Amino acid sequence: MLLSEMKQGDRGTIVKVGGAGSFRRRLLEMGFLRGSVLTVVKYAPLKDPLEVIVGESHVSLRVEEAAQIEMKMA
């Protein structure tokens, strides 16, 4: 399942972080590491962006960016 497919309140474990170059590196630096648990807090009114909690940080991602992250539901 992709992070962009998860619903508000869902919790899951990161399986794979896709993307290329600086985008992928930036995600890894923010804590989007394989095995990390994250929670989808909410979607913006127009469904883009979405807010997640990864570790102790709140991060907003565009839906197209969230589609690069593969998840396993917890």
What's the domain count of the chain?
1
Which residue range is the domain that position 25 belongs to? 3-73
CATH label of the domain that carries residue 65? 2.30.30.90
pLDDT of residue 40: 96
Q: What is the largest CA-CA distance in the chain?
A: 30
Compute the distance between CA of residue 47 and CA of residue 35 in angstroms, rounded to an integer.
26
Q: Which residues of the chain have pLDDT under 70?
A: none
